[in-house]
């Protein structure tokens, strides 16, 4: 097991109607004037925003609102948020929405106490030294941003998608009410579920051996998803299944399922170019990329893929031919994605084979290699995209 540090100080507040507690938690973490940051009209129409405001009012906490966060959140709104916060003297950012909204809130939190351009911290390796405190009221189980130290923003000029991370932008608290996810369309639910599973798989495929505890924790989350996601696709109002998925989504990405060993993250990076270029949902892109990546790399460690097949998808181990079991596991994963309504190839996603050179170019590897389970060249990435073009069941 590699040496590691694990730190997850976010206070998670889970369950029915917990958004009514958010004023209390903003107060606990020192917020006196809050930016409520949200997405589209659903938080308004559902009455969620009103409940959040009422909860802040009850504690005598002032606030201003900034809506309009889109999926693949843009730098333009972040700049707007930073200006607004500076003008209004905001000392706490409260995100009411999904992962995009949280990532945008984190970017604003970084930008307010910084004199330069917040984009300096994204994909450029500049270390974050200060940030406003962030809290979240989560409305979709997916990104895990509610418990993570990371944020991904898209630069509108060129649709460049880049990330940053620091313990300073871990949310102080995150309110997780599974009821809020019951009104999500099936497609968005499935996109979120795919993202959650991908967060675990990026950690499951490691080159560090003998870390049984992390393996088993990964499998715990994946087994939960395999059981619960079809139940919410079947019945969107199934609170228990929604609750399992929501908590699994948080645990999948606060790194407890990743400690003590190397991780991968190539599928995420390869996907980011797809959702950057076509503005498709990140989860949908992952459904197309991840099995295609698995097909490309499985020979690097056949037994690990066989383990996935047996332990997560319940395949019988083929002891005479472990490779057959490995491939069966990848097939099962893709079939699962199809069954929950995800695209599984370029065509279904709305991506084009002829754009592959552009996608590879934007990834910016040049003649270099990625890090990860298998280090990939630009040519390898092109082949993974081709696997995704050809994918079928």
Among 112, 152, 211, 360, interactor with a copy of itself by CB under 8 A: 211
Q: Scanning residues 166 to 205, which ones bind a copy of itself (CB under 8 A)?
A: 178
Report the distance separating Cα 157 and Cα 171, nearest Å: 28
Beta strands of 98-250 (E only): which ranges? 134-138, 150-155, 160-165, 173-176
DSSP state of 74: B
For CA atoms 341, 342, 344, 350, give the dihedral sign: positive
Among 79, 247, 265, 331, interactor with a copy of itself by CB under 8 A: 247
Site string for a copy of itself, 5-24 (x = CB under 8 A): xxxxx-xxxxxx-x------
In this complex, which beta carbon is closest to a copy of itself, that of residue 180 or of residue 217? 217
Bridge pairing between strands 160-165 and 150-155:
antiparallel
We find the least distance from the C-beta atom of residue 9 to a copy of itself, in angstroms, to be: 4
Bridge pairing between strands 150-155 and 62-66:
unpaired
Question: Pick from 178, 174, 183, 250: which is nearest to 21 by CA?
Answer: 174
- List the structure tokens of 38: 């949200």
In this complex, which beta carbon is closest to a copy of itself, that of residue 9 or of residue 357? 9
We find the least distance from the C-beta atom of residue 18 to a copy of itself, in angstroms, to be: 7
DSSP state of 79: H
Q: Scanning residues 257 to 286, which ones bind a copy of itself (CB under 8 A)?
A: 259-260
312 binds a copy of itself (CB under 8 A): no
Q: Which residues touch 106 (CB under 8 Å, ≥6 apart)?
A: 93, 131, 134, 145, 151, 169
The one segment of 85-93, 109-117, 137-145, 236-244 that binds a copy of itself by CB under 8 A: 236-244
In this complex, which beta carbon is closest to a copy of itself, that of residue 75 or of residue 215? 215
Q: Scanning residues 357 to 386, which ones bind a copy of itself (CB under 8 A)?
A: none
Among 80, 88, 120, 219, interactor with a copy of itself by CB under 8 A: 219
- Asked whether 287 and 178 are in contact (CB, 8 A), the reply is no
Total residues contacting a copy of itself by CB under 8 A comes to 41
* Positions in the binding site for a copy of itself (CB under 8 A): 1-9, 11-16, 18, 178, 210-213, 216-217, 219-221, 223-224, 227-228, 239-241, 243-244, 247-248, 251, 256, 259-260
């Amino acid at each position: 097991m590699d040496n590691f540090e694990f730190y997850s100080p976010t206070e998670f507040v889970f369950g029915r109607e917990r958004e009514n507690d958010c004023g209390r938690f903003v107060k606990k973490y020192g917020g006196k004037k809050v930016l409520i940051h949200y997405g589209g009209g659903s938080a308004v129409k559902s009455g969620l925003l009103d409940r959040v405001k009422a909860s802040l009012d009850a504690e005598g906490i002032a606030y201003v609102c900034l809506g309009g966060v889109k999926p693949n959140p843009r730098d333009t709104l972040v700049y707007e948020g930073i200006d607004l916060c500076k003008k209004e003297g905001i000392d706490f950012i409260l995100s009411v929405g999904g992962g995009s909204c949280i990532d945008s809130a984190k970017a604003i939190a970084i930008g307010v106490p910084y004199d330069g351009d917040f984009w300096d911290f994204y994909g450029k390796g500049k270390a974050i030294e200060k940030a406003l405190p962030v809290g979240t009221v989560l409305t979709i189980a997916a990104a895990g941003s509610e418990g993570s130290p990371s944020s991904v923003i898209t630069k509108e000029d060129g649709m460049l998608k880049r990330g940053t991370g620091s313990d300073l932008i871990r949310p102080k608290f995150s309110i997780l009410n599974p009821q809020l996810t019951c009104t999500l369309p099936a497609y968005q639910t499935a996109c979120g579920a795919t993202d959650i599973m991908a967060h675990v798989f990026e950690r499951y495929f490691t080159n560090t051996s003998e870390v049984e505890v992390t393996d088993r924790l990964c499998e715990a989350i994946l087994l939960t998803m395999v059981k619960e996601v079809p139940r919410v696709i079947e019945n969107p109002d199934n609170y228990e299944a929604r609750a399992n998925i929501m908590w699994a989504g948080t645990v999948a990405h606060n790194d407890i399922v990743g400690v003590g060993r190397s991780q991968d993250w190539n599928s995420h990076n390869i996907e980011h170019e797809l959702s950057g270029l076509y503005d498709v949902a990140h989860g949908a892109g992952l459904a197309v990329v991840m099995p295609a990546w698995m097909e490309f790399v499985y020979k690097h460690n056949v037994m690990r893929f066989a383990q996935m097949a047996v332990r997560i998808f319940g395949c019988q181990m083929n002891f005479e031919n472990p490779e057959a079991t490995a491939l069966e596991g990848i097939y099962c994963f893709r079939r699962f994605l199809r069954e929950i309504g995800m695209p599984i190839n370029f065509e279904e996603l709305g991506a084009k084979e002829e754009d592959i050179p552009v996608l590879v170019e934007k990834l910016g590897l040049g003649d270099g290699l990625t890090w990860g389970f298998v280090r990939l060249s630009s040519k390898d990435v092109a082949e993974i995209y081709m696997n995704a073009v050809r994918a079928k069941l």
